[in-house]
Amino acid sequence: QVRLVESGGGLVQPGGSLRLSCSASESLERIFSMGWYRTAPGKQREFVARIMGSSTHYPDSVKGRFTISRDNAKNILNLEMSGLNPEDTAVYYCTVTIGGSWYWGQGTQVTVSS
């Protein structure tokens, strides 16, 4: 079973940037699909970004502001976030898909506030 640990969350002012990282217990080289989701207070979980091989996908809400990347050598999945606004406040979770099974981290809190 893959263990995922997110880090990098925190408090940031509107317009600011953060870099989230997700450390995996297994080599990312054998994992094709990885991504980030978020859950804001009182809202359903929302898709944020996905990388499948070298192809990336984003919803319109974060496109142009968020960038997902993978470092196979370090077994780390990253999410670079810029132009943050209060609507981005949420707990962010990384996830990987292996053989049809989804694995999730424990989440990291991102709060955008002045």
Instruction: Compute the distance between CA of residue 51 and CA of residue 43 in angstroms, rounded to an integer.
Output: 24
Residue 91: its pLDDT value, please? 98
**Other Cβ atoms within 10 Å of 3 Cβ, number:** 11
Question: In whole numbers, what is the pLDDT of the chain averaged over residues?
Answer: 95
Q: How many residues does the chain have?
A: 114
Handedness of CA 12, 68, 72, 34 (dihedral sign): positive
Instruction: Compute the distance between CA of residue 56 and CA of residue 110 in angstroms, rounded to an integer.
Output: 22
Q: Which residue has the higher pLDDT, 14 or 72?
A: 14
In the predicted model, is pLDDT for residue 66 greater than 90? yes
